[in-house]
């Protein structure tokens, strides 16, 4: 009953808030006048390399380089708890998050294999991302730096119809955000 009422209200709002049939008003007087502005001449300045503030010898890693060090966390079929075999990956990701990636936020991307409905897989992907988030927070990463998204089964890395392929799709990926 609630869905019927809600859909009726939404339909009524769409009907009554339809597009206007009026043409936009254009002020022709302002359109024909030219706007002239004076532009100041900008002087350019060259900085010599010995006066440069930027050190060209820095060994700072780029965001993509740091992301490549973060490996995916894999899950068993229909599970969202972090397996003890994946704890090393969580610890490595936490260490990178505290050091090289300390200035970045982290997006956890939950993924599933093709088994199950779309709704179920989106929920499972979010539960997997949340499990990794809780593990990272337990390792000392600030929870406010971590966001989560679920792709369900829509972001596979493998499309073969084998157990090995399906296991590669049950994962959480790390993405860094500036």
Does residue 90 sit within a domain? yes
The answer to whether position 56 is within a domain reads: no
State the Cα–Cα distance between residues 170 and 156, nearest whole angstrom. 9
Residue 107 domain-assigned (yes or no): yes
Higher pLDDT, 120 or 53: 120
Residue 128 lies in a domain: yes
Rounded average pLDDT over 40-68: 60
| 88 or 35: which leads in pLDDT | 88
pLDDT of 89 > 60? The answer is yes
* Residue found by looking up tokens 């927070």 in the block: 137
Judge whether 111 lies within some domain.
yes
Where is average pLDDT lowest: 2-16, 23-37, 96-110, 140-154?
23-37
Establish if 103 belongs to a structural domain: yes
- Domain with residue 110: its CATH number is 3.30.1330.60
The per-residue DSSP string of 82-119 comes to: PPGGGHHHHHHHHHHHHTTTTTSEEEEEEE--S-S-HH
Question: Is position 1 within any domain?
Answer: no
Look at the chain and report how many structural domains it folds into.
Answer: 1
Residue 4: the pLDDT is 77
pLDDT tens digits for range 103-155: 999 999 999 999 999 999 999 999 999 999 999 999 999 999 999 999 999 99
Question: What is the residue-averaged pLDDT of the chain?
Answer: 80
Please give the structure tokens belonging to residue 59: 């060994």
* Domain membership flag for residue 60: no
Per the structure, the complete domain to which residue 173 belongs is given by: 72-177
């Amino acid at each position: 009953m609630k869905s019927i009422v809600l859909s009726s209200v939404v339909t009524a709002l769409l009907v009554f808030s339809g597009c206007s049939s009026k043409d936009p008003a254009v002020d022709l007087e302002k359109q024909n006048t030219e706007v002239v502005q004076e532009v100041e001449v900008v002087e350019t300045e060259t900085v010599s390399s010995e006066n440069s503030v930027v050190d060209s010898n820095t060994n700072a890693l780029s965001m993509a380089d740091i992301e490549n060090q973060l490996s995916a966390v894999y899950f068993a079929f229909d599970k969202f708890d972090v397996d003890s075999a994946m704890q090393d990956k969580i610890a490595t990701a936490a260490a990178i998050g505290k050091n090289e990636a300390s200035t970045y936020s982290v997006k956890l991307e939950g993924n599933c294999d093709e088994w199950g409905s779309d709704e179920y897989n989106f929920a499972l992907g979010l539960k997997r991302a949340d499990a990794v988030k809780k593990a990272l927070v337990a390792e000392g990463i600030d929870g406010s730096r971590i966001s989560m998204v679920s792709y369900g089964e829509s972001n596979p890395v493998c499309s073969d119809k084998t157990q090995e392929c399906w296991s590669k799709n049950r994962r959480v990926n790390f993405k860094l955000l500036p």
